[in-house]
Structures are given as structure tokens and as C-alpha cells.
Structure 1
Amino acid sequence: MSLTSAINTTKAAFRNMGDQSSVISTNIANDGNENYVRRSAVVTNTIFGASTVVTQRNQQLALLLQTVSTNSQSKAQSTLLDGLETLKSSLGGNEYELAPSTYMSTLQSSLQAFAASPGQLALAQTVVTDALDVANSLNRVSTTVQNLRADADAEIESQVAELNRLLADFKTANDTVVQATATGNDPSNALDTRETILKEISGIVGVSVVVRENNDVALYTADGTTLFETIPRSVSFSRTYTYSATVNGNAVYIDGVAVEAGVGGNTSGEGSLAALLQLRDDVAPTFQNQLDEVARGLIEAFQETDAGGANPLPGLFTWPTGTVPASGTLEPGLAASITINSALVTSSGGDPTLLRDGGINGAAYVKNPTGGSGYSDLLLTYVENLSTSRPFDPAAGLDTSSGLLTFSTNSIGWLEELRANATTATDNKTALYERAFQVYSSKTGVSLDEELSLLLDVEQSYKASAKLVSTIDSMMQAVLDMAG
């Protein structure tokens, strides 16, 4: 080897070691950064025989896609569970002490006590008070259900805005990746940025990824709708600010296609949008229907009829129309408006003993014309009506024929079953995501011990190169001395 060749080799070695040190330093600086994929500095030979350093990114596409998929499923499941926990809390938690069914059981007990001692005014007042608790419970839980729908709608609007922003950022990162790849430059930083955005998108909507020429990427939703292909597709939504049982929310559209809501406690949805739609348009409305059917059943169970057994009118429980709803037919929003008949409320000038005697709706409805304090037939009828099988609308998602108390208890069972399934599925999907993320990180993340070891190797190479420089210097000096 000539001195010139030795000098060139040494220069190349120092240049390569500088590049290697730079890559290793960057890796070390990003230790713990979950959005950074480790780089490797690989020394290769060019076609001209010279050595150079090529930076390679430890990309693991299959593991990345697995992580993205499990993230979508986990986000959808946890979003659904949060909504179900809100509904459970409105019922008082694990003991359901604030549930309509709990208050109805208390009402039935107080009615039985009043029927046993129909001459006790205090017992009559207790029945009215317990009935007021039932009505207030239905009002309050109904309000919570509609607030949940409104909150979900507001969150959908926020998520749609965020998704549009992420898609715009994704285009910028994708264009940078494609340009760098096509021109032979290092796209690693842009790839990190693009993958970070992809993870965030997957939390909002389920996404599948198609990699094309020059590292270009197209994104599609879980159901095949185009989300991004060269340019981001439009995601649109019109918010509804006030919800009631008769108000339906608007759909979310991606590229003109409506996003489908998730189904079931172990939701089929991917991403938070599908779960929010499921809460707003399926879970909450079904639970509202159950509340409305309980309210309708109460008005029906305590209705008054005239002396001929006809012309039914609301008795203990009433609502703004002042009529008895059709049997077995859902009356949307009834739970939010049900109340106690003021004719029975002492503070409003009413008489609670009318519940025993009849006549809440006037003299034609009196069942105890003599006013005898021992009369209990009407009270016993009310007690029986709470347990007697009656028809319910199929829209409530429960048995279409059962006792009112049984129906209200089954409503809690329906919610609990859904919540239990969602809890189990959340645990499973969260564990699956964490496992996928752990495997992905182990393959793409930075190991500080490994990087420090590589840095020591570079240091040893530097020492060897420095010794070679010293040797070359001595040889050059010898040549100069010989030349005189």
C-alpha cells in the first residue's frame, strides 16, 4: 500500500467513524422515545471500491401494523366502557341504590304497609313521597342518558377535527418520505413522523395500510373506505347540541361514506369514533327506551278508571299530556317528563288519601264513596299491578311481556351484562395492545447498553486509525529526511 492509499484509507475511516458516531449519538438521545425507530450505521463499499456509511432504519412493518390494529381495538373498547360506567354511576354504582327499580321496590313496600293500615295518613304521605322518588329517579337517569349522548356528540366533533388535522399532517410527512426515497436521501425522520401520526389516527378510526412505490402509503378504514390516497379524504360531521329521546344525531362521513357504529359489549368497532357512535346511537337510546317503558308502565299501573271501568286517566303518576299512553307502545321521552299528580301532594293542596279512595280525577273516579278508613281494595290493586305481567315495546330490547318490577330489574341486568362484557373485552384488548407494542418496541427501540457498546467499538477504531496516522506521519518524515 502506498502512502497516498494509506492516507486516503485513514481519511475514509475517520469520515465513517464520524458518521457512525453521529448515528449512535442520535440513537442515545432518543432512548425512551416510543416514536423513534433505531438507526444502524452500516459500512459498505461503493462500486468504485471506497467504503462509506449507510444509515438503515430498523423498520418492522408487520409489527407496526399489528400495533396500529390493536390500538384501534383498544381505544374503541375503552371508550365504550367509559360510557357504560357513566350509566352505571347514574344508578348509584354497585348497589344500584339510585336506580328506578330500587325506588319502585320501596314504593311497593310502602303501598303494602298502607294497604295493611289504610287509615294511617302518615302512610299515605309516605307512599306519595316514595312515588316522587321513583319519578325523580327516572327524570335524573333520563337526563344522564341524554347528557351522555350530547357529550359523545361533542367528542365526535372534536375527534373529527383532530382526524382532519392528522390527515393533513400525514400528507406532509408522506410527501417528504416519497421525495426522500425517490431522490436517494435518508427518509428516516419523515418515516418516524409519519408512523407517529398513523398511530394517532388509528386511535380515532380503524385503519389498514397499503405501502406503494417509493414508500408511498395509502390508508383505508376498517370497512374499506378510502381515508388517504395521495391526498387526505374529507371527514365531515354536523354536531347536534341538544339531545332528547326524540332527537337523532348526525352521521360521520369519510369520503362521503357514513362511519359504522360498533356493536355489542365486546364492540366490533375500531377507533374511538365507532365506539362514540355506538354509545350515542345504540346503547344510550336503548337504555332510554327501557326507562320510558318503565315510566309508561307506572302510569298504566296506577291509572284511574271511572265507575264503569272506562275512560282511564293518569292517577298517582302523570305526564304533561294528562293521558294514559297506549299499552305496549313506546312513548319516547316519557321518563324525562313523568311526575307525581299534584292532587296527591299535600304541599300543593292535594290529599294523599285519594290514592286509597280514588277520585284523583274527580268524583266520577271515586272507588270508596263512603270514605271508610278500612278500605284497601284499590291499594291492593296497585300493589298487584306492579307485579302483573304487561306488554312492553320490543324497542326496549328486553322481554316484551313481564311484570313492571321485573322489567325494571331486567333493565339493570341488561346494562350490567353489557358492561361486564365490555370490561372483560377491555382487559383483553388492552393486554393485546400492550403486548404488540412491547414486541414492536423491542425490535425498533433503542437499547442504551447496545449503543454504548457500539460507541466503545467506534472509539477503538478511532484509536487504531489515530495510530495509523502516527505511523504514516513517521514514514512521511523519514521520506523527507531521505530527500534531504
Structure 2
Amino acid sequence: MSISSAYNIARSGLRVTEGRADLVAGNIANAQTPGYARRDGVQTSAGSGQGDAVDLRVMRQVNDRLAGMTRTARAEQGAAAVPADVLNGYLLTLGEPGDEASPAARLANFQAGLDLLGNNPGDVNAQGDALARAEGFVNSLTTASRTLEQSRAQAAESFDRSLGEINTALSNVAALNAQLRQAGDSPRDTGGLMDQMSRTLDALGSQMDFKTRWEADGSLTLHTTGGTELVSGADAVRLTGDNRTGGIFADGNDVTPDRPGGRGISSGRLAGLSEMLSTVLPQMRLQLDELARGMIQGFEAADLSLAPGDPGLFTDAGAAFDPVRLDGLAGRLAINDRVRPDSGGALWRLRDGMAATAPGEAGTTTQVNAFIKVFDDARGIDPRAGLGATARLGDFAASLVGHQQNVRVSADARADSASVSLATFEDNRSAVEGVNIDTELQKLLEIEQAYGANSQVLSSLSSMIDTLLSSV
């Protein structure tokens, strides 16, 4: 080996050693930087002959499959967290089936009040107690309906916010694609851009699930899990949505979750919010409205004093039941003013009927017993409510509360499972991409030794040259 070849090798060795030191320093400096993937350097030959110089090939340590699994788990966690975020306040208001303030408990309390009134129908105190219990039930149902509407508004706002965050992320991916195309293939040039891409995709993963594909030009293509293209090169679609129905569209293509024949998303926070707006909240609202309908119709049919079109004990904001005004009925449920003394009514109508014009005999129980029987008969239920085809009012109220509380319980169980999976994938991903300070410090010791060895070679070569020159 010639002196010049040895000199080239030693000099390139110093250059490689300097590059390795820079990589280690960068790794240590970015150990806590989100989205940063560890850089490693591999020493390679810079030529094809014996004694050629050496070079440093930089490698960004990533595992795309593991990163994809992590983002999928994050999307599942994001979807499972939505019911708790949206329904927490409403379900606290609704209460458990046995809670004193729940509609189910208030309904049972009113039924017990009617039983007491049946034992002494002429007692003004018993009449007043029954009315107070009826008002307690109405208040619990209208409060639940109002709070549910607030939850729907919250879900709609979160839905719009998620769409905005997703569109920003998709635009950022497209912009990074344009920069990656210009940066070339060198990891030294693209490493920072790839870290930005990783952070963008991780943030996007909590909002929606997606698939990725790296193209030959270095850009990343994004699709929904159903196959709808989201980003291609420097172009990104814009997602739009309807926060009343939960519909989601990508440049006119329906990407709403669970649409027959759709090519949409299936998990993520946006999917969870879409399900809340399209299915869960409307069904909960219908269940409340069905309970209100059962009470209004039941007590209208049981009231022997009413003419067609007259309102019964329970009313739709003072009016009789109107089938075309079912939506939101629970929020309009009210006691008939004709039985409310503070509105000019009379308590004795609980005994004699809402349309009675004069008090009947104090001991008559015919009308009260008819009211009591309302709770004994099974009534038809809208199948869309998801609580069966028929049920007695008390059973339906208990099922309603239990069913709605179970939405949160089931979601919490899914969230816990997703959290476990996410933690596992993140730990595995960190082992591949993360920076271990102890390992990097050990590398510095190796680099120091390599630097010393190359310096010694250069020093020896310098001495040899000096000796040769002095001998001339």
C-alpha cells in the first residue's frame, strides 16, 4: 500500500469519525424530541480497489410497519375516547337506573304516588304529592333531553374541529412531499423532513385511520382504509362534513364510517364523532322521546274525561300528542295546567280527569285506577330505539337508562384495550427509533478510539514523509 493510499484512508477515516460524532451528538440532543428517529452511521468503502477511502452512510432507524400499527392503535383509542368526552356530562345528569334523580326512579316514584292517591283519592295532600312526583319525573326527563342536546352541540363542535385538524395535517403531508422530492435520496438531507412527516402522521393517526405508500420519487401517498385517496404527491384532498348527520366527504366521495359500499375511514376521533352524531345521539334522543310519547299517549287514553284532541295529564308543551312532532318531545314534556293550582288549575282533576268541569265524589277511584293501569300495560316502541318492540313504561325507562349508561361502559372497555395495545406498540417502536443515552455515550468512546487510531496513522505517515525528505 502506498503512502498516499494510506493517507487517503486515514483522512477519510477522520472524516467518517467526525460524521459519526455529529450523529451521536444529534441523537443525544434530540432524545426527547417527538417524532425523532435515531440516526446510525455505517462505514462503507468509497471505491472499488484495495486501499480506497472510506465513507459514512447515514441510516434513519425506522420500522414503517410498526409505526403503522402504532397509529392504528392510536386511532382506535381516539374513537373509543369519544363517548366519554361527549356523554360524560349527560350521563351524570341521567343517572343510573337506581339513582333517585334518574327518569326511571322518578317514574317509579310517580307510580307509587298514584298508588297512594288510589287509597285516598279525595285527600288534597295525596293529590298534591302525586302532582309533585309527576313534576319530578317531567323535570328529570326534560333536563336529560336538554343536556343531551348540549352534548350533541359539543359533538358537532368537536367534529368540525377534527375536520380542520385533519385538513391541516393532509396539507402538511402534501407540502412535505414537495420538499422531499427536491431534497433527493440522502438521509442527511431528508432526515429532518422525515421526522416532520412522522410527527404529522402520528398526530393525524389519533384523528383518523389511514394507509400509506412510499412512492419512487420519495413522496408519500395517503389513502383511507377503504381506499379513497387523500394525498398524492403535493396534492391533498379537503375533507368536509355535516355535523348534523355525521357525514364525511373527501372531494365529494363519501368516506363516512360504516356506509354500505363506502370507501371511508373506520376509526379515529373523527369516526367516533361521526358515529355519535349519526347513530348514538339520535338513538338516545329517540329513546327519551319514546318515553315521553308513552306517558302522553298512555295518560290521554286512560283519561275518561277527554274529548278527541284534548291534552291529558302529560302534554306536549300544553298540547295533546301530535305524531308529526315526535322529535324533541322529551324536551317539551309538561304537566297539564288544568291540574296545576299555580296556573289556575285544580288538584282534584287527578281524581276526576283533566277535562272534568266540576269535582266528583271524593271517594271515587275509577279515574285514578285507570291512570295506575297505564303502568301495567305493555306499549309499542319504535324499533329504531333499540329497546325491543313492546314494554311497560317502568321497564322501558329502566332499560333506557341502563342502555345509555352501557354505551359509556363499553366505550371505556374499548379505550382500555386500545391503550394497552398502543402502549405495547409505542414501547416496541421506541426500541427501534428511540435514543438510548447510555448506548450513545458508549458510541462516543468507540469514536474517540477510532479518532485516535486515524490520528496516529496520519502522524506516522507525516514522520515517514519527513524522514524521506531529510534523506534526499
For 1:413 and 1:72, the matched residues in 2 are separated by 28
- TM-score scaled to structure 1, two decimals? 0.89
User: CA separation in 2, counterparts of 1:88 and 1:383?
Assistant: 29
Q: CA deviation at 1:41?
A: 0.9
- Show the counterpart of 1:44: 44
Letter in 1 for 2:249: Y
Matched with 1:357 is 352
Deviates more, 1:137-146 or 1:185-194: 185-194
**2:258 matches 1:254:** no
Determine if contact 2:38/2:435 at 8 Å carries over to the other structure.
yes
Contact 1:304/1:313 (CA < 8 Å) preserved in 2? no
Change (3 A) 1:304 1:41: closer
1:194 Cα offset (Å)? 1.0
What is aligned with 1:244? none
CA distance 1:172–1:94, shift in 2 (3 Å): farther
Return the alpha-carbon distance in structure 1 between the equivalents of residues 321 and 66 of structure 2.
61
Q: Quick one: distance in 1 between partners of 2:412 and 2:325? A: 30
Q: 1:30 maps to what in 2?
A: 30
**Match for residue 297 of structure 1?**
294
Contact 1:289 1:330 in 2 (8 A): no
Residue 447 in structure 1 maps to residue 436 in structure 2: yes
Question: Match of 2:74?
Answer: 71
Partner AA of 1:37 in structure 2 = A
- Deviation string 1:422-470 (CA, Å, 9 cap, x unpaired) is 2222211221122112111111111111111111100111222333343
The one-character-per-residue Cα deviations of 1:278-321 (angstroms, maximum 9, x if unpaired) are 11121111011111111111112222678687536322211236
Task: Answer with 121-130 or 210-219: which moved more.
Answer: 210-219
CA RMSD of aligned residues (A): 2.5
How far the C-alpha of 1:238 sits from its partner, in A, is 5.3
Give the equivalent residue in structure 1 for 2:312.
Answer: 315
**Structure 2 residue 334 is the aligned partner of structure 1 residue 339:** yes
Question: Which range moved further: 122-131 or 415-424?
Answer: 415-424
CA distance in 2, matches of 1:45, 1:298: 86
Structure 1 alignment gaps of length 5 or more:
240-247
Report the Cα offset of residue 221 of structure 1.
0.8
Alignment match, 1:421: 410
- Deviations along 1:42-93, one digit per CA (max 9) or x if unpaired, are 1111225220111111121111111122211121111134334344222135
Cα displacement (A) at 1:117: 2.1
Q: CA shift at 1:37, angstroms? A: 0.9
Task: Provide the residue aligned with 1:285 in structure 2.
Answer: 282
Cα 1:100–1:71 change in 2 (3 A) is: same
1:430 and 2:434 are equivalent in the alignment: no
Q: Any idea what the Cα deviations from partners look like across 1:389-418, whole Å, max 9, x if unmatched?
A: 111222222122111111111112222333
Q: CA deviation at 1:220?
A: 0.7
Normalising by structure 2, what TM-score? 0.91
Contact 2:10/2:457, CA 8 A, preserved across alignment: yes
Q: Which residue of 2 aligns with 1:234?
A: 238
Equivalent pairs, count: 463
| Percent of aligned pairs sharing the same letter | 26
8 Å Cα contact 1:262/1:277 also seen in 2: no
Q: Which residue pairs with 1:243 in the alignment?
A: none
Confirm whether residue 478 of structure 1 aligns to residue 472 of structure 2: no
Say which SS state the counterpart of residue 144 (structure 2) adopts: helix
**How far apart, CA to CA, are the structure 2 residues paired with 1:306 and 1:197?**
64
1:224-253 superposed Cα distances (whole Å, 9 cap, x missing partner) = 2111112101212355xxxxxxxx436221
The equivalent of 2:262 in structure 1 is none
Question: Counterpart amino acid of 2:349?
Answer: L
CA–CA distance in 1 between the matches of 2:80 and 2:93? 20
The one-letter amino acid paired with 2:94 is: L
Taking the aligned partners of 2:433 and 2:302, their CA distance within structure 1 comes to 76
In the aligned structure 2, how far is the partner of 1:387 from the partner of 1:423?
Answer: 36
1:394 corresponds to 2:383: yes
For 2:240 and 2:315, locate their aligned partners in 1 and report how far apart those are by CA, in whole Å: 42
Within the candidate set 147, 151, 171, 1:148 is matched to: 151
Distance 1:305 1:18, change over 3 A: closer
Does 2:337 correspond to 1:348?
A: no
Q: Where does structure 2 lack aligned partners over 5 or more consecutive residues? A: 260-264
Aligned to 1:467: 456
User: 1:130 and 2:125 equivalent?
Assistant: no
Q: How does 1:182-221 map to 2 (within 5 A)?
A: 182=185, 186-221=189-224
Cα distance in 2 for residues equivalent to 1:306 and 1:464: 103
Which whole-Å CA distance do the structure 2 matches of 1:398 and 1:119 have between them?
A: 38
Give the Cα separation in 2 of the matches to 1:213 and 1:45.
26
